Amino acid sequence: MQRLPIGQRIRNKRKELGLTQSALAQQAGISVSYLNLIEHNKRMIGGALLNRLAAQLGVETSHLSDAEDGPLVQQTLEMARSQSLTGLDEKNVVRLVAENPDWARALLALHRKYQDTAEHALSLSDRLSQDPMLHQLSHAILTQTTSIRSFAEILGQFDDLNAGDQRRFSGIVASQSGQLGSSVRAMIELLGSAMDAPEPLSPEKEVDDFIIAHRNYFDELESATRSLRDEMGVSGKLVATAIAGRLSDRHGIDVRFTDGDTREPSENVFWLDTRAPEASIRFRMAKRLIEIEAADLLDRLVQDSRLTNDDARSLGRRALASYGAGALLFPYQEFLKAAEHHRYDIDRLSAAFGSSFEQTAHRLVTLQRPKAPGVPFAFLRTDPAGNISKPFSIPGLPMPRFGGACPLWAIYAAFSEPGRIVSQLATTQLGERYLFIARTVDKRTAGFGEAPTRYSVMIGCDSLYMDRLVYGDRYATGQASLETPVGFSCRLCERHDCRQRAQPSLLAGDSRQNNRKAPVTGAAAE
């Protein structure tokens, strides 16, 4: 039952007017015991009786029952619960809203401000964790601390050091401490400059962050879809038929197709586009089923501090429903087994599971159950203009979250060969090698003369796993000419001779070639 402060307000007003319960009950034509129940919120009233009581008390009905009261009580309660404020009685919340709705609103506004601030702090820490300058500085600090600690321990531990060693080691401790001071000052400056308010994140970016924070694996959704699938008792590609059947039999939703754009929106009809590829149609039906059957779980999962507003939560809910659809159509164990068996051949996996390239690639990325992980993949999608979506990074291989990636990456080359898989052995400046696999995907069959809705999708993994992937075979000979020297983004790349450079590098000159850390301590000493 939703708690409303009507009873409380009636009681307050009655006392204010110096009326007894029996007097008011008599005037309103109800029994004293009934009025008592009303005043203690044990009976919900409305309509004629509410109007009568308001008239007897000489107030507007809206004074007793405001449309905002219900949500206000609810939100205040939620706020208390989200902050784990125990010992707050629900009755007191009702009393607060009854007597001082403005105070309740002020509390909620404060709480929202607090949430915004917490969010700001989170995004700052996120930004800092990706800052190359900060990365170099923290490396310098760790190095200096390591030297200081080690020599200090040596000085304390060994009694038999000769005078020369003693002097030298103390000298090192002193000089490294000086450097440490400079590094720390440089870091404070850097952090100071980073405190400028960042732009608020869009709901899309919030959802990206949310997924990244969960490492793109949602165990609860995996087990929920596993149970659902067991209950439906089907396997393989037949699951699509079973899903359609379940939508109609259990939820009264008819799946229908439309070729045009005019669709009567209806709760009982699920419209699908005839021009969508078969795999998309199956996926959408699965997603719809998950949205219905796992509604509570989805609602719970999006209660996450990274999703700060309703738009982000609803977008996150849709992303999770897609995850669930993938888990339902391509069950974890079977899919992992098939992936290893087919050596991660995306085309063969797509054929086996009736999935699209993007669906298969995406499911591969989620195979990260701690006890049974597949090859760890990064994921990225871009449209022809370079607008990035769904970035997912793995250690060593960060995917850009804003702007573009390195123009030499296979994800862009794939646009010149639509529909064909482009593989690439990408070598970073530090000599790390990653295997990239990219292909364009069309979202909807275009008629003659129509432009397709096209994206390029890429997954990438450490070349360490190359021999487990069919795509690694052509690089197995180790021929250097097959490698592509790349960066991550122009801003963070020091290949100054690159012909595709679009922006100047933020990293200083050729310093890395000589001594990577010199400019850091040097700059810090200034």
Partner 1 sequence: MGTKILIAEDEPFIVESLSFLLSREGHTIASVSDGASVLDELKKQRPDLLILDIMLPTTSGFEILRRIREQPEFAALPVLALTAKGQEADRRRMVDLGVDQFMTKPFSNQELVSSVAALLESAKAPQQ
Binding site for partner 1 (CB under 8 A): 138-139, 142-143, 145-151, 153-154, 157-158, 165, 172, 176, 394-396, 428, 430-433, 462-464, 512-513, 515-517
Residue 147 burial class via C-beta count within 10 angstroms: exposed 0-12, middle 13-18, buried 19 and up? middle
Nearer to partner 1, 270 or 471 (CB): 471
Q: How far is the CB of 435 from partner 1 (least distance, A)?
A: 13
Is 114 or 158 the residue whose CB approaches partner 1 more closely?
A: 158
Largest CA distance in the chain: 104
Tell me the closest approach of the beta carbon of residue 160 to partner 1, in angstroms.
10
What strand order describes the sheet that includes 388-392? 388-392, 378-382, 454-462, 433-442, 422-427, 483-485
Which residue's CB is nearer to partner 1, number 164 or number 233? 164
Question: Which residues share a beta bridge with 256?
Answer: 271
Which residue from 419, 469, 425 is spatially nearest to 439, judged by alpha carbons?
Answer: 419
The rounded distance, in Å, linking the Cα atoms of 458 and 437 is 6
Q: Which is nearer to partner 1, 118 or 476 (CB)?
A: 476
Rounded Cα distance, 370 and 219, in Å: 10
Name which of 62 and 514 has its Cβ closer to partner 1.
Answer: 514
**Closer Cβ to partner 1, 12 or 393, answer by number:** 393
In sequence order, what are the residues at sequence separation of 6 or more whose Cβ sits closer than 8 angstroms to the Cβ of residue 514? none
Closest contact distance (angstroms) between CB of 430 and partner 1 is: 4
Write the Ramachandran bin of 452: left for phi over 0, alpha for psi from -120 to 50, otherwise beta. beta
- Position of tokens 């600090």? 141
- Which is nearest to 153 in space by CA: 133, 167, 165, 169? 169
Q: How far is the CB of 502 from partner 1 (least distance, A)?
A: 25
DSSP output for 244-269: HHHHHHHH--EEEEESSS-----TTE
Task: Enumerate residues 6+ apart whose C-beta is below 8 A from 434.
Answer: 396, 397, 425, 426, 428, 460, 461, 462, 463
Q: How far is the CB of 402 from partner 1 (least distance, A)?
A: 22
Residue 261 CB, nearest distance to partner 1 (Å)? 45
Q: How far is the CB of 161 from partner 1 (least distance, A)?
A: 9
**To the nearest whole angstrom, how small is the minimum distance from the Cβ of residue 463 to partner 1?**
8
Give least dist CB 147 to partner 1, A.
Answer: 4
Using the minimum distance from each CB to partner 1, give the nearer residue, 420 or 474: 474
Q: Which is nearer to partner 1, 58 or 395 (CB)?
A: 395
> 329 with 236: CB under 8 angstroms?
no
Helix segments in 130-162, DSSP class H: 132-157
Nearer to partner 1, 136 or 424 (CB): 136
Q: Which is nearer to partner 1, 140 or 239 (CB)?
A: 140
- CA distances in angstroms from 236 to 62, 189, 239, 301, 334, listed in the order given: 59, 58, 6, 28, 10
Question: Which candidate, 273, 293, 277, 281, places its Cα nearest to that of 244?
Answer: 281
Q: Are strands 378-382 and 372-373 parallel, antiparallel or unpaired?
A: unpaired
Min dist. Cβ of residue 153 to partner 1 (A): 5
